[in-house]
Amino acid sequence: MNRGIDKKTVKKGLLPYLFMALVILGVFYVFNVMNHDVHVFTYDEFIQALDDEKVKEIELVTRGNAYTYEATGKLKGYKENESFFARLPFSEEVMRKIVEANDVYDFKLTTKPDPDSSSFLLILVNVLPIVLLLGIAFWFFSRQMAGNKSSLDFGKSRAKLNSDNNKVTFKDVAGLKEEKEEVKELIDFLKNPKKFQKLGARIPKGVLLFGPPGTGKTLLAKAVAGEANVPFYFISGSDFVELFVGVGASRVRDMFQQAKRNAPCLIFIDEIDAVGRQRGTGLGGGHDEREQTLNQLLTEMDGFGANEGIIIIAATNRPDVLDPALLRPGRFDRQVTVNLPDVKGREEILAVHAKNKVLSDGITLTNLAKRTPGFSGADLENLLNEAALLAVRRNKDKISMSEIDEATDRVLMGPAKVSHKYSENDRKLVAYHEAGHAVIGLKLSHANDVQKVTIIPRGSAGGYNMMVPSEEKLCSTKTDLLEEITGLLGGRTAEEVVFGEITTGAHNDFEKATKIARAMVTEYGMSDLGPLQFEQQEGSVFLGRDYNKSQHFSNEVANEIDMEMRKIINDCHQKATEIIKKNRDLLKLIADTLLEYETLTKEQIEYLVEHGKMPDEEDENNLEAMSITKLREIAKEKGIKNYSKMSKAELLRELDV
């Protein structure tokens, strides 16, 4: 049902019909004029018609300015579309003859005054066309301005004043305790400046929030706006930059002028790296418009003029590209790093986003927080939302751990490729590859814990092994890194031991292992070359980080770096081979179980290692926990065709799970 009608759409729909009606009226008018037969009489012919008593009706119009009468009418015997017209002298004799003829045979006589003598008509005829032309011109001009409002305010600020709608407060920001304390001082200063001034303290003029995407920088700024009882302007860095030089600088000036009129106030600039990048960089020099905008911003923040009571909050995830003049004291005095949340922070964030979610009784946010290291606040919000969508899709009234596991996989790797077909030999290769990772993770004390193993393809991977640290650490030891490399090489090693063949499935593992090994040698000083740093990232602002990596070593040292990297990789590969060969039975047990169940959780793997078998399938309603053999039996009973060739994911889909 249409709830509203767009007036513009209605107008556009009526215009063709109005135009058609005008055309039809014009055609009828022209048709009538062309078919009307007018006989023009001379004065003598008109008098003769009066004397012969032929006149049927006369309409007499006085033209005083031309000293004439205009007579129109019909003669006896005229048709409907016939009439006569005569121009008569302006005299008493003419009127006397017409009146006498009317007294004799009584025809219809009508007289009208001179229309030119009416002041109203004079104004209507002479002034109305000019007014109409001016009105039409104004209408077109206003339409043009309405279609492009920015043509008059091109240099005006695009900053918007925050409203009280959808108000966000510090209660809605979880996991950022220290960061909230830093920005709370701004609000305290705006509310009670004397408390700071009596001790000679000067509140920071600017606060820069930087960190990875999705960690809550913009949300924190929204919370400041919600808590502050002062005007709060927000704008994106890209709103300053335009094609024409000087427009951005004009917008900066206008923004600060508005802020001064409403001081004390806060200004939030999101993605400030769009306008605050280093000046004079890049192959072609600087960008004149962007640099002029940045120069104006620098002047307004801390120049000759004073901007008392105006506090700037900016956010970016690229602090390395910002101009040094922007980061000096007096401009962005305080820089707050908004990092990825730890396990406690993730639990608090999950609690905020789980308020309107219906979770099953067996789900605890503490365990869920432990399973999601490296997730940002945006990732966690997306995780619970995806789980809720899956629960609705499966016609469930609560979100179970099954939906959360699936949602985690979707966030990390993308949706499962249920329709993807690969042979039994490929499934076996993938199963042993992932089982190899799992065995290394189980047998090495410093390796990451195995949380989940699956052979269901997602993204570009035929399967994957979710391994997370047993505890979150600030620094990694050499043993931690070596065992992480060993775990990454477990898949390829299992392929070599079991099949005597290698595949391309380990290319991503090699990429990660090589990166760690090179960092150990060139950056962390964890090799026989000693505690030296040979490489450091100095990425160019415009060329990208990898085009300008500084290298402080000779060709001989480069060869030694390659040898050290090869030694680290070979030692880890040798260790992985020993572990796989020693635990060949466990490898086979996990691989065979993967072929049967396709997905194993941490609890199932621990039970499998301890008891040598999977837990009994007691719950007949939990199809997702059943083996593929059990599912095929159920599919056979329900008469599903080709059930024996289906994967577990396909069987679950056919069984409406």
β-strands 310-316, 535-536 pairing = unpaired
408/403 Cα distance (integer angstroms): 8
What 8-state DSSP symbol labels residue 415?
Answer: S
Q: What's the Cα-to-Cα distance from 273 to each of 239, 240, 269, 323, 524, rounded to whole Å?
A: 12, 12, 10, 9, 30
Which residue in the block uniquely carries the two structure tokens 């300008």? Answer: 548
- DSSP-assigned states of every residue in 526-581: -STT-S---EE---BTTTBGGGS-EE---HHHHHHHHHHHHHHHHHHHHHHHHHHH
Identify the CA nearest to 435 among candidates 415, 460, 457, 464: 464
Identify the CA nearest to 596 among candidates 550, 632, 544: 632
CB 454, CB 600: distance < 8 Å: yes
Q: ∠ CA 380-381-382 to the nearest 5 degrees? A: 90
Active site residue 80: no
The catalytically annotated residue of 271, 386, 403, 434 is: 434
Residues β-bridged to residue 312: 206, 267
- Take residue 246 and report the two structure tokens written for it: 């000087």
Helices (H), 302-400: 324-327, 343-353, 365-370, 377-393
Backbone angles phi, psi at 303, to 5 degrees: -130, -150
Helices (H), 444-546: 478-488, 490-499, 507-522
Q: Which amino acid is at 222?
A: K
CB 83, CB 71: distance < 8 Å: no
450/229 Cα distance (integer angstroms): 49
Burial of 498 (0-12, 13-18, 19+ CB in 10 A): buried
Identify the CA nearest to 493 among candidates 433, 551, 445, 547: 433
CB 122, CB 116: distance < 8 Å: yes
CB 246, CB 295: distance < 8 Å: no
β-strands 464-468, 37-41 pairing = unpaired
149/248 Cα distance (integer angstroms): 17
Burial of 102 (0-12, 13-18, 19+ CB in 10 A): middle
β-strands 82-89, 232-236 pairing = unpaired
Instruction: Report the catalytic residues.
Output: 434
